[in-house]
Amino acid sequence: MKNNIKVTVVGLGYIGLPTAAVIASKNIKVFGYDINEKVVSKVNKGEIHIIEPGLKSIVSNSVKKGFLSADIKVNKSDVYIIAVPTPFKLNNKPDTSYIENATTNIIPVLKNGDLFIIESTSPIGTTEKIMNLIFKERPDLVGNIFISYCPERVLPGNILHELVYSDRVIGGIDEKSTKKSITFYRNFVKAELHPTNARTAEMCKLAENSARDIQIAFANELSIICEEAKIDSNELIKLANKHPRVNILNPGCGVGGHCIAVDPYFIISDFPKNSNLIQTARKVNNNKSEWCLNQIIKSKDEFEIENNKKPKIAVLGLSYKANIDDLRESPAEYIAKKLAKIISPSNLFVCEPNIERHDAFTIKKYHEAVKICDIIVLLVPHNEFINIEYIKNKKYLDFCGILKNKI
């Protein structure tokens, strides 16, 4: 496909904005389309509203060179990429209304030969549903446009690299849609593009993240058993992973983020009878956060009995994983908020090196907190915490394995 194509990316969030910027950096005209006027005006000034290494420069360069612009309405294009959220409703059913609304806004400007791609994580069958929505409104397009599901698999914190160098699954509603999509992605993806059908591509995204959730659940369950068995779980996992075909992941304080903690529910809500392992893994990972909280409270009570005074507690880490500032579905934030309900503010020191402010806590400096506090709780393995000073008479609760071999 020649580079004089025009691309519209719908949804300028964690996935949409980096995707729009990377495509625009290939000197392809990209229209960002978002319902949030603040986001649109920020992007048009070459600024960004999300933290992602390298994103600011690639956005401002593309805007400056005129290849990237944003709008609150749809611009006629040749390729449309849907990268909007698919949140969960209270009834625990995935909400695809953002995808449907975006599609409805695009239908009037669709023309023969256009390529329509859904990237948003979706329940199985969403692409077919959207295809029917398009063809119901525009029967003239039947057989004349290309529709695919092409999930992203970028790791927040490394998005710009993985967008280009991670293999992608390309799932067309028919073979020509798959082929057309592969040709398009070849404009900026240097890794392998794997052809399949839309349903398989939808399930592939959910399976990848559900598999990871199950692997993490095993590590979390093992860490709780090790606590009872008085075995260092980090040492155990390190040794078990010496086996050539064993790869046990790292225990944490629970599973957060907008993907691993959420995507399994897409499968569970559609296949409740046959997803016992996936459901159990979700329960184990959610329970790990409660278990960590109970361990902290137990240490607090023991300190009070032994010292006849309330301990000062340092909580290190609020983000959902190491070295980012994203608090979405963060188990660490969940634990800190629960602690704040039972510990007076003067005795709770919440430290998160990647954010300045928080609406529920005064963010404290971790190197001061570890000196002042009696109990040091490590929830997120940020690089800043790797070399914190280990002081003998303090109680360390390391839920993320960062003090390996130090205690």
Which positions are catalytic? 205, 259
Least Å from the CB of residue 211 to ligand SAJ: 7
Residue of 382, 381, 379, 376 lying closest to 396 (CA atoms): 376
Least Å from the CB of residue 344 to ligand SAJ: 28
Least Å from the CB of residue 169 to ligand SAJ: 12
Torsion of the alpha carbons at 40, 41, 46 and 49, rounded to the nearest 10:
-70
The token pair at 92 is 């625990």
Task: Kindly tell me which residue out of 43, 134, 206, 216 binds ligand SAJ, with binding defined by CB under 6 A.
Answer: 216
Told to check if 128 binds ligand SAJ by CB under 6 A, we report no
Give the SS3 label for residue 376.
strand
* Matching residue, tokens 């960062």: 402
Contacts of 332 by beta carbon, 8 Å cutoff, 6+ apart: 253, 254, 256, 315, 317, 318, 319, 320, 379, 380
Running DSSP on this structure, what letter comes out for residue 139?
Answer: G
Residue number, nearest CB to ligand SAJ: 252
Q: Maximum Cα–Cα distance for the chain, whole Å?
A: 79
Nearer to ligand SAJ, 70 or 259 (CB): 259
Contacts of 88 by beta carbon, 8 Å cutoff, 6+ apart: 94, 95, 262, 265
Q: Do 220 and 231 meet the contact criterion of CB atoms below 8 Å apart? A: no
Task: Kindly tell me which residue out of 138, 212, 328, 358 binds ligand SAJ, with binding defined by CB under 6 A.
Answer: 212
Q: Which stretch binds ligand SAJ (CB under 6 A): 95-103, 108-116, 209-217, 347-355?
A: 209-217
Q: Which stretch binds ligand SAJ (CB under 6 A): 16-24, 56-64, 257-265, 389-397?
A: 257-265
Told to check if 248 binds ligand SAJ by CB under 6 A, we report no
Chain center to CA of 87: 12
Count of CA atoms in the C-beta half-sphere (13 A) of 395: 19
Told to check if 321 binds ligand SAJ by CB under 6 A, we report yes
Nearer to ligand SAJ, 332 or 369 (CB): 332
Told to check if 209 binds ligand SAJ by CB under 6 A, we report yes
**φ, ψ for residue 218 (rounded to 5)?**
-60, -45
- Residues between 149 and 208 with contacts to ligand SAJ, criterion CB under 6 A: 153-156, 208
Q: Which stretch binds ligand SAJ (CB under 6 A): 123-131, 249-257, 271-279, 349-357?
A: 249-257
- Residues between 106 and 125 with contacts to ligand SAJ, criterion CB under 6 A: none
* Residues binding ligand SAJ (CB under 6 A): 153-156, 208-209, 212, 216, 219, 249-250, 252, 255-257, 259-260, 320-321
